[in-house]
Amino acid sequence: MSIGVHPDYEVVIGLEVHTQMRTASKLFSPAPVSWGEPPNHCVHPVCLALPGVLPVLNVLAVELAIRAGLATHCTVHEQSVFARKNYFYPDLPKGYQISQYEEPICTGGWLNVPVERDGERELKRIRITRIHMEEDAGKSIHDAAVTGRDATHVDFNRAGVPLLEIVSEPDMRSPEEAVAYLRVLRSVVRYIDVSDGDMEKGNFRCDANVSLRRHGAEEFGTRTELKNLNSFRFIEEAIRAEIERQAELLDDGGRVEQATMAYDPGRRRTRVLRFKENADDYRYFPDPDLVPLVLDASHIERVRATLPELADARATRFQRDFGLSDYEAAVLTASRTFADFFEAVVEAGAGGTAAASWILRDVQRALKDRDLEIEASALRPEALAGLIAMVEGGRTTARSARGLIAELVERGGDPEALVAERGLEAVSDTGTLERVVDEVIAAHPDDVERLRGGEQKVLNFLMGQVMKQTEGKADPGVVRKILAERVG
Amino acid sequence: MAAASETLEEFRASLDSGESSSRALVEAALSRAEGIDERLSCFVRMRAEGALSDAEEADRRRAEGEARGDLDGIPVAIKDNMVMEGEESSCASRILEGFVSPYTGTAVERLRDAGAVVVGHTNMDEFAMGSSTEHSCFAPTRNPWKPDCTPGGSSGGSAAAVAAGLVPVALGSDTGGSIRQPAAFCGVVGLKPTYGRVSRWGLIAYASSLDQIGVFTRSAAEAAEVLEVIAGHDPLDSTSVPEPVPRFREALDGDVSGLVVGLPAEYFERSEGCDPEVLAAVREAVATLERAGATVREVSLPHTRYAVATYYLIATAEASSNLARFDGVRYGRRASEPKDLGDMYRRSRSEGFGAEVKRRIVLGTYVLSAGYYDAYYRKAQQVRTLLRRDFDAAFERCDVIATPTAPEVAFGLGEKTDDPLRMYLSDIFTVSANLAGVPALSLPCGFSRGLPVGLQLMGAPLAEAMVLRVADAYQRHSDHHRQRPPEFA
Amino acid sequence: MAEIGGDEVERVIALARLALSEEEVAGMARDLGAILRHAESLAALDTEGVPPTAHVIPLATPLREDSAVSPLDPEIAVANAPRAAGTAFVVPRVIEGEEEG
């Protein structure tokens, strides 16, 4: 059983992602989209819902929505309809949000997501229910230092910014799967230039629907909705905390009530913001200020032609041309820059499987430890290819090379020079190594006997001892040869 | 000096001949408004300073031979639900008290680009919800023909201002008859164009899928002229029709021979509660057209009896959402000392909206709410389809449809304010044109008990030219539109 | 369905963010009842298979080029505000994350 899944309950997670589309102006207003401006410096009468204003749809937002739909294998509909979702909130200027409800632009897609299950790495297909366009609300400023104790400030700079809402099926079964899906989805929207996916700015944020059911149960349990999670770490923690909370309730014979939840990262707990009541009545109806969005098939095809090679196609090509596994290919192609990096390493002379293995194991770990994206790292593809070549040519050892990856990722540099500077050249001088091997044999007579008796795994132990003595610099091939001579 | 009852053409003639100036016309309009309007309450706000300076600009242009066109220097009035940069607009509602618009609506902008001088905002039923101009936060407008009667509504201020000769042209808006019914009650021409013909940008919405800006004038020819100015595609309105605007005036050849006038049985034989004198006047007007060469044919609009219910379900649903923005956050009225946000919303809205607006917001909220949407809102949208099909079929058989505009002449002030359903049912002849989106015009066709009777002409979508042509031809054969309210002659 | 109870009217009034006196609620219930009874006539009409009309014009929504215009002067943006602080609108304190209650 993989980590994070509860022994008694199956965890069911569905995600709603809001990602801000990369446009210059807002979805229905010609006001500029910008970030970090003082309150109400980027508004137009439409953003303020002044009396008499009307919405007009942004063509680029439509193109980007089509791109997102195509890249996630959705059906892009030739007709979609904007509806009003009616509710009152100070940062919702019209008293309704223009969204798509009964007829969204895209439905029925999927993404393949690399997951680990029972220690095995595999691809899992997560279905996407729908993708639709909608406008963002403004921002309420609650910071009492700014507003004083009795007031909330409202800023409409963000009001009307174009969002895509991407809704998954409840196909995820652990917090890790949820995060894996989000990583792939974020890569996709960045890959196809729909969004910068900047989570710190809230340009890629997520609501998670979480429910539990007894293993083997058919029906879903009552779900709660975790609102506005905007980092992978918080998403994972929040879902985990919510699983705990629900499991405790159920264990005590209680019931989970439908509610909107918030995550408190300080206490690592979720808390109820409000229970969902019948009073939530959004009175959706088609927006009479906007007629249906109609796209002809050729328009959709024109957008398809502008898409970069999509991750799936690229993964298939990687499998075919470089002999990678489907998992390796999927992970490498999950982000365009990652895939580009891999191809550049191969271009610089490395073999496909070696490049994949180095990138997926050592480079990825170094990036993760530093919370870096590949494009933000100092590692150059030529450097990695050079390092791989040195290992394969026996000029340094894998172990030494591995020790250099972190530094290359952080500061960059030339592997040849680094190996020389650190004295990490492989020791292949037979005289030196024979002396070390003899010392090891002398120190471990019992093991040598067992090896002679046919216990091959002892060979690895003895090799390890030699490596230890040489600080990992011994050329493993030469060592193995000497050991074989001495023992055999 | 401009007399009260001059037509647009006469105004223009006096400008062209140098006999008068735009400044003089505007001054006259302002001073008449000041005197007469004490009694009529056509205007809710005059724009004296701005209008005079606009008029001087117009006079300067004319002097330099750069007059912008036929409306240059002409005083006009706009309904209080239209915004103009730097001016107040309130929709005759306390909730918009003091609101100053930072932008100008398209129709008003086009009038101003043509040189017309906006002298003020006219009275209306609050948020255009009403048929009498009594539901205004200001004093109710009175009918120039009989001051204890209403001018109709909701554009009662605009209709009365033109009838009383305060201005030759006024803009109104029509969601269920709000131009045509007051035009009928006040004895002027009121034209509601095809939905989408005139941009709604800058028109404070009541019901977005039904609202349409139109004009009040004395004659169909003048209406044609003003429509040419304000109509046309506007990229700021997604429901604006991207069709070229015909030269409507060129269609006014006075000839109706060969045209077919359709009379829907549902508006005549089977219409209950229609004043027989109104029916008689309308029949006489149709006979006039027949004598002028038109053919009269019976047509059928079988779903007419469902129109009022359909209209009120759709209009109030849209209104409940359109009026959610009046929340006391960004503009307009906010209740004093709110104890929390919810209190601020509820009190601002309850104090700011009048009873009729609240009634429609509650009705509209109800029909959209969970459990009722299909039975009411969706059902009404389906019936709307049937009503449209009625018109499509009828216009296969005729060029224009002629009906009474309203089942009665102007009613007394206060007569119907207690019974909303009765007030709603008096819209029976006008709401269908909004539901079907077709152009419709009301013009004076006689009198009953000293009050004007309106003839309604409806046309196929975008066929304003046909409607105007028939109306103009009728006016060449009648002089009802030249009658003046005795007090304002 | 045409009879509309006081509770139902109260629910809708709350949804619409209005506050009415008891008397007004009763009057509202009476008026709505009358109007909805009239609207009941629609129920008798067979509309099976009739598509709803949301818009009378057979148009596809127009699309606007993605180019930004200069924003409103922030002073003008808040000029109509009942309450503002600098260029921010001010409302009574809202508890973060909570919907208006």
**What does the pLDDT average to over A367-387?**
90
Q: Return the residue in A50, A91, A287 with the most chain B beta carbons within 10 A, the one to mutate for interface testing.
A: A50
Q: Which of A53-67, A267-281, B178-192, B228-242 has the weakest average pLDDT?
A: A267-281
User: For residue C11, what is the domain's CATH number?
Assistant: 1.10.20
DSSP readout, A171-213?
-B-SHHHHHHHHHHHHHHHHHTTS----TTTTSEEEEEEEEEE
Q: Decide if B41 is catalytic.
A: no
Mean pLDDT of A355-361: 93
- From B22, B41, B154, B271, active-site residue: B154
Instruction: Tell me how many domains chain C contains.
Output: 1
Strands (E), A81-161: 82-86, 96-100, 106-117, 120-135, 139-141, 151-155
Tell me: pLDDT of B325 over 50: yes
Percent of chain A at pLDDT > 70 equals 98
CA distance A144 to A199: 25
Q: Which ipTM did the prediction report?
A: 0.96
- Give the helix/strand (H/E) hosting A300: helix A297-306
**Chain A: residue whose CA lies nearest to B210:** A288
Residue identified by tokens 């909701």 is: B154
Mean pLDDT (chain B) is: 95
Tell me the pLDDT tens digit for each residue of B264-283: 999 987 556 789 999 999 99
Which of B83, B201, B377 is the closest to A285 by Cβ? B377
Q: Give the residue from A138, A179, A131, A136 showing the smallest Cα distance to A155.
A: A138
Which range among A100-114, A139-153, B320-334 shows the weakest confidence by mean pLDDT? A139-153
Chain-chain contact of A281 with B203 (C-beta, under 8 angstroms):
no
B17 is catalytic: no
Which pLDDT score is estimated for C96?
60
B204 is a domain residue: yes
Question: What pLDDT, on a 0 to 100 scale, did the predictor assign at position B269?
Answer: 75
**Is residue C40 a part of any domain in this protein?**
yes
How many domains are contained in chain B?
A: 1
Question: Does the pLDDT at position B339 exceed 70?
Answer: yes
pLDDT at B69 over 90: no
CA A370 to chain centre: 15
Whether the pLDDT of residue A46 is over 60: the answer is: yes
- Please give the residue of chain B at the shortest CA–CA distance from C50: B382
Q: Is the pLDDT of residue A376 over 70?
A: yes
Is the bond preceding residue B154 a cis peptide, omega within 30 degrees?
Answer: yes
Spell out which residues of chain A touch residue C88, defining contact as CB-CB under 8 Å: 39-40, 141, 153-155
pLDDT tops 70 at residue A286: yes
Instruction: Give chain B positions within 8 Å (CB) of C76.
Output: 102
Rounded CA-CA distance B110/B255 in Å is: 30
Tens of pLDDT, residue by residue over A165-186, are 999 999 999 999 999 999 999 9
- As a whole number of Å, the end-to-end CA separation of chain C is 28
What pLDDT, on a 0 to 100 scale, did the predictor assign at position B319?
98
Q: Is A248 exposed, middle or buried (0-12, 13-18, 19+ CB in 10 A)?
A: exposed
In this structure, is residue B385 part of a structural domain? no
Residues 6+ apart with CB under 8 A from A69: A75, A76, A105, A106, A109, A131
Mean pLDDT of B437-464: 98
Question: C interface mutation test: which of B366, B386, B462 has the most C CBs within 10 A?
Answer: B366
What range does the domain containing B203 cover? 8-263+398-488
pLDDT of residue A2 exceeding 60 = no
From the list A96, A285, A289, the residue facing B239 with the nearest CB is A289
Mean of pLDDT values over A378-393: 93
Q: Give the pLDDT score at A3.
A: 42
Number of other residues whose CB lies within 10 A of the CB of residue B232: 19
pLDDT by residue (tens digit) across C17-71? 999 999 999 999 999 999 999 999 999 999 999 999 999 987 889 999 999 999 9
Write out pLDDT tens, residues A299-326.
999 999 999 888 888 989 999 999 999 8
Chain C nearest C-alpha distance from B385 (Å): 5
Quick check: A140 and C98 CB within 8 A? no
Q: Is residue B55 part of a domain?
A: yes
CA distance to partner chain C, nearest, from residue A277 (Å): 12
| B286 domain residue, yes or no | no
pLDDT class of B50 with cuts at 50, 70, 90 = very high
Q: Is the pLDDT of residue A21 over 70?
A: yes
User: CATH code at B454?
Assistant: 3.90.1300.10
Give the pLDDT confidence score for residue A158 in this predicted structure. Answer: 97
Q: Which residue of B has its CA nearest to A29?
A: B236
Residue type, A202: G
| Of the partner residues B208, B368, B377, the one whose CB lies closest to the CB of residue A289 | B208
Instruction: Report percent pLDDT > 90 for chain B.
Output: 90
The pLDDT, as a whole number, for residue A189 is 94
pLDDT band (50, 70, 90) for residue C100: very low
Residue A387 pLDDT > 90: yes
CA distance A327 to A294: 38
Return the partners of chain B (3 or more C-beta pairs < 8 Å): A, C
Full-model pTM: 0.90
Show the tokens assigned to B185.
């009650």
Is residue C33, in this structure, part of any structural domain at all? yes
A430-487: CATH topology is Arc Repressor Mutant, subunit A (1.10.10)
Counting one residue from chain A and one from chain C, the pairs whose CB atoms sit within 8 A come to: 141
Q: Using an 8 Å Cβ cutoff, are A170 and A207 in contact?
A: no
Give the residue range(s) of CATH 1.10.10.410 domains in chain A.
430-487
pLDDT band at B396 (very low <50, low <70, confident <90, very high): very high
What domain range includes position C37? 6-44
Residue type, C52: P
Catalytic, B192? Answer: no
